[in-house]
């Protein structure tokens, strides 16, 4: 049986009323996808969010386990978020080394959400993935779940298997496997999760291609990882650890340790 070709334009309503009805059906469908939250979020249009990631997090960034906005620990606010996301002299690269199950991937997902909904128009966020296996896209998965819990977010984005687009502003969050060249991109934010696994020369080259771009106002490379085990001087993560321990570069934020070690440092 021969199938008759039907152009995509034929699916669009022929009148303004029909197109409006289609749009309303689409929005209702997205609303049904939203996981039931226990707390209704305030409007995303509050201009204060654009400069306050902590307020944005505690009012808009939902956690599936609680079905409520995240409750940040004091050390996350004071030791991580404030040094990275506030003020004019912000770091362009931040390395956060913590143990597994410490919430570092959730903070990375929060950073991506903040850039998508509060960043400049046409912003680009890339979540670096070691390969095409989606099981490794932990940060992206956490971001999608947070958006699905918040109807204000969900109704304003298009979600695919490896990207989230916000048509109203032209902004995008996209997973980027190391097999793909990163040359020529113009990112506001690049997230590397578990950099210890970048053990090939091609992966190091991929990392170097995603250096921050001076055309963006506050570009950031955000690395969240646990220590790994390679102490070779040529290892990418180890070389960054050494740079952080020296503490000589004001554009490089470095924090290594558990919540308890931060408390002891105070």
Q: What's the mean per-residue pLDDT of the chain?
A: 81
Question: What count of other Cβ atoms lies within 10 Å of the Cβ of residue 21?
Answer: 12
The answer on pLDDT for 17 being more than 80 is no
Confidence of residue 99 (pLDDT cuts 50, 70, 90): confident
What's the rounded mean pLDDT across residues 5-30? 62
- Summarised one tens digit per residue, pLDDT across range 180-239 is 777 778 899 999 887 766 665 656 677 777 766 667 888 999 988 876 555 666 677 778
Any idea where the domains of the chain sit in the sequence?
A: 40-265
What's the rounded mean pLDDT across residues 56-79? 94
What's the rounded mean pLDDT across residues 110-128? 95
Confidence of residue 263 (pLDDT cuts 50, 70, 90): very low
Q: Is the pTM of this model over 0.75?
A: yes
Confidence of residue 260 (pLDDT cuts 50, 70, 90): very low
Residue 190 host element (H or E): strand 189-193
What per-residue string of b and e applies to 231-245 under the rule 16 or more CB within 10 Å gives b?
Answer: eeeebbbbebbeebe
The pLDDT value given to residue 12: 65
What's the rounded mean pLDDT across residues 128-156? 84
> Which of 3.40.50.300, 3.40.50.2300, 3.50.30.40, 2.40.37.10 would CATH assign to domain 40-265?
3.40.50.300
The pLDDT value given to residue 203: 67
Counting residues of the chain whose pLDDT is more than 90, the rounded percentage is 45
In whole angstroms, what is the distance from residue 206 CA to residue 129 CA?
11
């Amino acid at each position: 049986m021969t199938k008759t070709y039907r152009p995509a334009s034929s699916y669009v309503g022929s009148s303004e009323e029909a197109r409006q009805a289609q749009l309303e059906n689409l929005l209702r469908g997205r609303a049904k996808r939203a996981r039931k939250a226990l707390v209704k979020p305030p409007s995303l249009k509050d201009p204060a969010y654009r400069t306050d990631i902590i307020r944005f997090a505690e009012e808009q960034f939902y956690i599936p386990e609680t079905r409520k906005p995240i409750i940040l620990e004091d050390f996350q606010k004071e030791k991580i978020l404030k040094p990275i996301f506030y003020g004019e002299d912000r770091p362009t690269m931040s390395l956060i080394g913590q143990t597994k199950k410490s919430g570092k991937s959730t903070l990375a997902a929060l950073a991506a959400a903040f850039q998508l909904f509060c960043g400049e128009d046409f912003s680009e966020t890339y979540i670096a993935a070691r390969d095409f296996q989606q099981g490794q896209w932990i940060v992206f998965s956490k971001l999608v779940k947070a958006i699905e819990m918040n109807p204000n977010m969900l109704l304003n984005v298009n979600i695919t298997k490896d990207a989230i687009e916000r048509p109203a502003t032209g902004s995008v969050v996209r997973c980027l496997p190391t097999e793909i060249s990163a040359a020529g991109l113009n990112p506001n934010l690049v997230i590397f999760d578990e950099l210890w696994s970048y053990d090939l020369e091609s992966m190091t080259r991929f990392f170097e291609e995603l250096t921050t771009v001076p055309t963006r106002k506050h570009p950031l490379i955000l690395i969240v990882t646990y220590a790994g085990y390679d102490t070779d001087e040529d290892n990418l993560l180890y070389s960054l650890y050494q740079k952080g321990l020296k503490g000589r570069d004001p554009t490089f934020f470095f924090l290594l340790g558990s919540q308890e070690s931060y408390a002891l440092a105070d």
